[in-house]
A and B are shown apart, each in its own frame.
Chain A
Amino acid sequence: MSGPGRTVGIQGLVFDEPPIFERSTPGRVGYSLPACDVPARPPESLVPAHLLRDDIPGLPEVSEVEVVRHYTRLSQWNFGIDLGFYPLGSCTMKYNPRVNEDVARLAGFARAHPYLPDELAQGALQLLWELERFLAEVSGLDRVTLHPSAGAQGELVGMMMIRAYLQSKGNPRRKVIIPESAHGTNPASSALCGYQVVGVKSGPQGVVEPKAVAEAMDPDVAAIMITNPNTLGLFEEHIAEIADIVHEQGGQVYCDGANLNAVMGITRPGDWGVDLMQINLHKTFSQPHGGGGPGAGPVAVRRHLAPFMPVPIVEKGPEGFRLDYDRPKSIGRVRSFAASFGVMVRAYAYIRSLGPDGLKHAAETAVLNANYIMAQLKDAYLLPYDRRCKHECVFSDAKQLPYDVKTLDIAKRLMDYGFHPPTIYFPLIVPGALMIEPTETESKETLDEFIAAMKAIAEEAREQPERVRNAPSKPRIGRMDETRAARQPVLRWKPGT
């Protein structure tokens, strides 16, 4: 069944639910703690009285069943991959295997303390050591730091390593070249390292032209940060030539690996001349996104950058695996402990479940699915760059604007059809962009339903534009007053509000 009739809002009963603080009833208990089996000394005898507090005003008193119902009700207001198609461009919303959740919770992993001596944490260290090798092989690079907690921190760590490397050669340089189509995190990460950002425009084909890089390149440029495949979903076909241009003047080539899903097993950044890249494990390697993390953004590097990786790293020696802290050229630490270990377990489990053929098949299918959507929708929506795409395709609202229907309206109307909207208004180089990334874990039937919905909305935009402009009507709540949220910020619950 297709059309808006396939959703009836949320199935079953949906409840309104106030903030949990309003559920509080004095005396309710939602916990069970052990009895005190040591002398119950008064706290004032152990800590000076003026350092103690009496109460935590506002923290609620609720029973266990109330907590369960509250958060179950809240969960029903969310859309997730488990519920349906989530084609959020650049986010790689693929299915999150449940066996990965199980193995990450094994006591030997979840209940291991990060300061266990190495000889008591051999399993954890072996997993990290092997995962590093897998990621190095997929990226075509030599070593991988597993420390960064997200893609953006990976970028930052990457830029820190570039800076430290160039500093070791005598001059950290001042500028970083970033194509206009880049994620906002790229310029922000560069700025955190004190670099000035130099923009380059994409050419008419939607990719960066070597000539533009050559013009921006000079001996004061530390690096180029380039996303490949880029945010238009296109492969930067001149990447090798661009890398040569940057290297000739002593610059480094950083690849934002957010879109690695499109190319794993097919082509490797290391073979393009890339010196380092972050790998978003919550995209390509199926770590659930959890409503905004946890993720992880390991950074793969070429050999010359390895001495600058954050400490510690896992090494294998005659006595087994160990954490190596003795790395004099390291940029230092970027987090406590050795990694977001649970995320590493899930990525490891994913890679072992797919193997070399499965990873390649995933990339091929992700690209097939994106090209299929592109082909089926390019009559209904303007396709600014009509050429083979990789993991995602980018349309615009140009054909709908004459009816006063914008990208935002199309996105909201998709909800009524039972789909999460694509990424909208990004990349900035396509006005009114609709960025669609289906991933490999969707069936042809799902894609066909989505395509039918998009075509129906294009039709509605012509015939009943009001309907699209007033969407969504199916979710529990309508379009939000975001201006009010920003002008009169209410960022916490207070009694009586």
Chain B
Amino acid sequence: MRYIPNTEQDTRAMLAAIGAGSVDDLFSDIPESLRLRRPLKIPAAVSEAELVRQLKALAATNADADSWNSFLGAGSYDHFSPAIANHLIQRGEFLTAYTPYQPEVSQGTLQALFEYQTAICQLTGMEVSNASMYEGASATAEAVLMAQRISGRRQIVVARSVHPEYREVARTYAAQLGLTFVEVPFAESGGTETDAVQATLGPDTACVLVQYPNFFGVVEDLAPIAEAAHAVGALFIVCSAEPVALGLLKSPGECGADLVTGEGLPLGGGLQYGGPALGFFATRERFVRHIPGRLVGQTVDRDGRTGYVLTLATREQHIRREKATSNICTSESLIALLATISLVSLGPRGLREMALLNLRKAAFAKQRLGKLPGISVRFSGATFNEFVVRLKKKPNTVLAQLRRKRIVGGVGLERWYPELADCLLCCVTEQKTREQIEALTAALGGAR
């Protein structure tokens, strides 16, 4: 086996040094009744070439975004990623390092994560970011738990326009501690109105959670909601599944957010059938000791040279055990590096330009689709790169018709919103050409 260097001769020499008669002797501490005395029932080993051949065949059965005209978004966005990002993260020194416990030989990872924390702060308008979480939904759930720890309150207010899966994950986490959830309905704009939020608030409200842009692509007006939450002493959490929008939209920090979380995969990470992803998590300096996860800090070595270490570890599970702020340990460092490389390559102007392309192309598509007979735009609110359309025909029938033209027209909303059973969520990123948008329009015109 090419991954195992030792030969039979090596094995014999090592067994002699150990004083064992055979390799099996090394397992004599395992009671015989517990031994597996047959081979594992998994397929026999394949050669490297055969493995690649088989996996290529398997991969080819998926409708990837290169060979299909896809308008899927809903938390996973197809954005351009510079070629260098994929190359740089495959440098073995980054790829094959562990969590940087030994700073003297991990400065590369540590400085890159320090840069990541900085870039996330700049993007979100916040003061502190951790070094990454698993993905957007569980990062948001951890923010809810953190708000509960800080406030000592037990009611969680969540906008119904937050990604249904983020809401579900927050509930799963919070259910263990018996927290209660109240949902705020969306308005005709598709956004969340401050009055509706206010109606749910009380002295036991720990936090208000809103998505930006929300699940329907609508750009929520955060500032008045922040004010309402703060008025009752609750924390305001803003999650974003599409941080590319922050290249153009006012940062949640500027709008009064106390915690900003979300999915970082759109920052160069691509689709990946959902993962590995990248949860980002940012907050205010005054909450730093409540943060879950790893933090990288700048310091100096014995000779006064600047360097970086994992810090404020007294929050963490390996020190605090059951009193830790979270159980998180391994997170998503490599994807954080990827996102950092993509972000700095774009820079403020590139990110704005990318966001503008999304905004304009989606607006163009929304207008085109909205003009088709039998189709109308469902919400009146301003949208970023996604929008909801209402169809006269059943969405599933329409989607099936589009599929025959190798178009994936979006995602039907019935599975999450019975009240939107006749609706479709369509996403248009900068990766879509006018021609592809027109192909969708033409196909929908025919598919009505």
The stretch that binds A, out of B153-161, B200-208, B225-233, B305-313, is: B305-313
5 closest A-B pairs by beta carbon, nearest first, are: A108-B59, A337-B274, A82-B92, A290-B334, A355-B45
Q: Given the complex, which residues of B lie within 8 Å of A79, measured CB to CB?
A: 93, 97, 102, 105-106
The stretch that binds B, out of A56-64, A212-220, A298-306, is: A56-64
Q: Given the complex, which residues of A lie within 8 Å of B318, measured CB to CB?
A: 183-185, 426
Size of A's binding interface in residues, CB under 8 A: 200
Q: Given the complex, which residues of B lie within 8 Å of A32, measured CB to CB?
A: 82
12 examples of A-B residue contacts, CB within 8 angstroms:
A37-B433, A51-B249, A71-B337, A107-B67, A152-B330, A183-B318, A240-B33, A294-B332, A336-B166, A357-B45, A387-B29, A480-B104
- Residues 277-297 of chain A, each 1 if its beta carbon lies under 8 Å from chain B, else 0: 000001000001111111110
CA–CA, A362 and B104, complex, Å: 31
Tell me if B30 and A115 are in contact (CB < 8 A). Answer: no
Given known pairs A67-B84, A79-B93, A194-B177, the reply for A38 and B347 (CB within 8 Å) is: no
Tell me if A80 and B62 are in contact (CB < 8 A). Answer: no
Closest Cβ–Cβ distance, residue A270 to chain B (whole Å) = 10
B237 within 8 A of A: no
A246 within 8 A of B: no
Q: Given the complex, which residues of B lie within 8 Å of A58, measured CB to CB?
A: 118, 122
B175 within 8 A of A: yes
Tell me if A74 and B165 are in contact (CB < 8 A). Answer: no
Tell me if B322 and A191 are in contact (CB < 8 A). Answer: yes
Q: Given the complex, which residues of B lie within 8 Å of A50, measured CB to CB?
A: 250
B350 within 8 A of A: yes
Chain A residue nearest to B250 (CB atoms) is: A53
Q: Given the complex, which residues of A lie within 8 Å of B1, measured CB to CB?
A: 354, 358, 361-362
B301 within 8 A of A: yes
- Residues 137-157 of chain B, each 1 if its beta carbon lies under 8 Å from chain A, else 0: 110000001000000000000
Given known pairs A192-B176, A294-B335, A492-B117, the reply for A112 and B65 (CB within 8 Å) is: yes
Closest Cβ–Cβ distance, residue B386 to chain A (whole Å) = 12
Among candidates B84, B276, B297, B299, residue contacting A294 with C-beta atoms closer than 8 Å: B276
Q: Given the complex, which residues of A lie within 8 Å of B327, measured CB to CB?
A: 152-153, 155-156, 185, 188-189, 191-192
The stretch that binds B, out of A397-405, A438-446, A455-463, is: A438-446
Q: Given the complex, which residues of A lie within 8 Å of B447, measured CB to CB?
A: none
CA–CA, A333 and B434, complex, Å: 37
A68 within 8 A of B: yes
CA–CA, A294 and B334, complex, Å: 7
B184 within 8 A of A: no
CA–CA, A86 and B99, complex, Å: 12
Closest Cβ–Cβ distance, residue A394 to chain B (whole Å) = 15
Q: Given the complex, which residues of A lie within 8 Å of B319, measured CB to CB?
A: 184
B298 within 8 A of A: yes
Tell me if A411 and B299 are in contact (CB < 8 A). Answer: no
CA–CA, A150 and B326, complex, Å: 13
CA–CA, A201 and B311, complex, Å: 30
CA–CA, A343 and B275, complex, Å: 8
Tell me if A114 and B273 are in contact (CB < 8 A). Answer: yes
> Which parts of A7-64 form the interface with B (CB within 8 Å)?
17, 19-21, 24, 28-34, 36-41, 43, 46-48, 50-53, 55-62, 64
> Which parts of B38-54 form the interface with A (CB within 8 Å)?
39-46, 48, 51-52, 54
- Residues 138-173 of chain A, each 1 if its beta carbon lies under 8 Å from chain B, else 0: 101000000001111101100010010000000000
CA–CA, A82 and B93, complex, Å: 7
Tell me if B62 and A121 are in contact (CB < 8 A). Answer: yes
CA–CA, A265 and B26, complex, Å: 14
